[in-house]
Amino acid sequence: MAEKVNIHEALASVTEHWSQKIIGEANGQLIKVAKGVGETNWHKHDDQDELFILYKGHLTIQLRDRDVELYEGDLFVVPRGVEHCPRAENEAEFLIAGLNVTSNAAGGKPNA
Protein backbone atom coordinates (compact mmCIF):
# COMPACT_ATOMS: atom_id res chain seq x y z
CA MET A 1 0.00 0.00 0.00
CA ALA A 2 1.37 3.41 -0.93
CA GLU A 3 2.11 5.85 1.87
CA LYS A 4 0.47 9.24 2.20
CA VAL A 5 2.00 12.09 0.22
CA ASN A 6 1.85 15.79 1.03
CA ILE A 7 0.95 17.65 -2.14
CA HIS A 8 2.69 20.88 -1.07
CA GLU A 9 5.94 19.01 -0.35
CA ALA A 10 5.66 17.14 -3.64
CA LEU A 11 5.20 20.41 -5.50
CA ALA A 12 8.20 21.92 -3.72
CA SER A 13 10.34 19.09 -5.07
CA VAL A 14 9.45 19.77 -8.72
CA THR A 15 12.34 21.54 -10.44
CA GLU A 16 11.39 21.53 -14.14
CA HIS A 17 8.45 23.41 -15.62
CA TRP A 18 5.72 21.49 -17.46
CA SER A 19 7.11 18.16 -16.19
CA GLN A 20 4.74 15.95 -14.25
CA LYS A 21 5.79 14.05 -11.14
CA ILE A 22 3.65 11.05 -10.22
CA ILE A 23 2.55 11.04 -6.58
CA GLY A 24 -0.19 8.42 -6.55
CA GLU A 25 -2.43 6.01 -8.45
CA ALA A 26 -6.07 5.08 -8.01
CA ASN A 27 -8.38 3.07 -10.25
CA GLY A 28 -5.93 3.13 -13.12
CA GLN A 29 -5.40 6.87 -13.02
CA LEU A 30 -2.22 8.69 -12.12
CA ILE A 31 -2.16 11.65 -9.75
CA LYS A 32 0.62 14.02 -10.72
CA VAL A 33 1.96 17.43 -9.67
CA ALA A 34 3.58 20.03 -11.89
CA LYS A 35 4.68 23.64 -12.10
CA GLY A 36 4.42 25.84 -15.14
CA VAL A 37 5.37 29.30 -16.32
CA GLY A 38 4.89 30.67 -19.81
CA GLU A 39 2.78 28.34 -21.90
CA THR A 40 2.78 24.91 -23.50
CA ASN A 41 2.05 24.31 -27.16
CA TRP A 42 -1.55 23.79 -28.23
CA HIS A 43 -2.43 20.10 -27.92
CA LYS A 44 -5.16 17.58 -27.10
CA HIS A 45 -5.42 14.12 -25.60
CA ASP A 46 -7.71 11.85 -27.58
CA ASP A 47 -7.49 9.06 -25.01
CA GLN A 48 -8.16 10.82 -21.74
CA ASP A 49 -9.79 13.63 -19.84
CA GLU A 50 -7.28 15.80 -17.99
CA LEU A 51 -8.16 17.09 -14.53
CA PHE A 52 -6.47 20.17 -13.06
CA ILE A 53 -6.55 21.40 -9.46
CA LEU A 54 -4.74 24.68 -8.80
CA TYR A 55 -2.57 24.84 -5.69
CA LYS A 56 -0.64 28.09 -6.12
CA GLY A 57 -0.69 31.05 -8.45
CA HIS A 58 -2.93 31.52 -11.45
CA LEU A 59 -3.23 29.26 -14.48
CA THR A 60 -5.17 30.09 -17.62
CA ILE A 61 -6.44 27.07 -19.54
CA GLN A 62 -6.76 28.49 -23.03
CA LEU A 63 -9.43 26.72 -25.08
CA ARG A 64 -10.16 27.54 -28.72
CA ASP A 65 -13.36 29.39 -27.82
CA ARG A 66 -12.57 30.82 -24.36
CA ASP A 67 -10.11 31.05 -21.50
CA VAL A 68 -10.72 29.29 -18.18
CA GLU A 69 -9.02 31.17 -15.32
CA LEU A 70 -7.94 28.94 -12.45
CA TYR A 71 -7.00 30.19 -9.00
CA GLU A 72 -6.14 28.34 -5.77
CA GLY A 73 -8.65 25.58 -5.07
CA ASP A 74 -10.19 25.60 -8.55
CA LEU A 75 -10.83 22.29 -10.30
CA PHE A 76 -11.34 21.98 -14.05
CA VAL A 77 -11.51 19.02 -16.42
CA VAL A 78 -10.36 19.34 -20.03
CA PRO A 79 -12.40 16.67 -21.83
CA ARG A 80 -10.62 14.22 -24.13
CA GLY A 81 -10.17 15.53 -27.64
CA VAL A 82 -10.45 19.20 -26.68
CA GLU A 83 -7.56 21.40 -27.75
CA HIS A 84 -6.03 23.39 -24.91
CA CYS A 85 -2.96 25.42 -24.04
CA PRO A 86 -2.19 26.15 -20.37
CA ARG A 87 -0.55 29.52 -19.72
CA ALA A 88 0.86 31.09 -16.54
CA GLU A 89 2.27 34.60 -16.38
CA ASN A 90 4.02 33.74 -13.12
CA GLU A 91 4.86 30.26 -11.86
CA ALA A 92 1.74 28.22 -11.12
CA GLU A 93 1.58 24.97 -9.14
CA PHE A 94 -1.08 22.37 -9.83
CA LEU A 95 -2.21 18.78 -9.56
CA ILE A 96 -3.17 16.81 -12.67
CA ALA A 97 -4.97 13.49 -12.91
CA GLY A 98 -5.18 11.33 -15.99
CA LEU A 99 -4.37 7.96 -17.48
CA ASN A 100 -0.66 8.57 -17.99
CA VAL A 101 2.05 11.20 -17.95
CA THR A 102 1.23 13.81 -20.59
CA SER A 103 4.17 16.18 -20.12
CA ASN A 104 5.80 15.23 -23.39
CA ALA A 105 5.93 16.71 -26.88
CA ALA A 106 2.52 15.28 -27.78
CA GLY A 107 1.24 16.73 -24.52
CA GLY A 108 2.26 20.22 -25.51
CA LYS A 109 5.50 20.43 -23.57
CA PRO A 110 7.41 23.40 -25.02
CA ASN A 111 10.89 22.93 -26.41
CA ALA A 112 13.60 23.51 -23.81
Q: Where does this chain bind a copy of itself (CB under 8 A)?
A: 1-9, 23-27, 29, 31, 48-51, 53, 68-71, 73-77, 79, 82, 97-99
Smallest distance from the beta carbon of 111 to a copy of itself, in angstroms?
28
Q: Given the complex with a copy of itself, which of 12 and 110 has the nearer CB atom?
A: 12
By beta-carbon proximity to a copy of itself, the closer residue of 37 and 53 is 53
Nearest CB to a copy of itself, comparing residues 73 and 90? 73
Give residues with Cβ within 8 angstroms of 19, minimum separation 6: 34, 103, 109
User: Considering only CA atoms, which of 41, 50, 54, 51 is closest in space to residue 11?
Assistant: 54
Alpha-carbon distance values, 29 to 40, 59, 66, 82, 95 (Å): 22, 23, 27, 19, 13
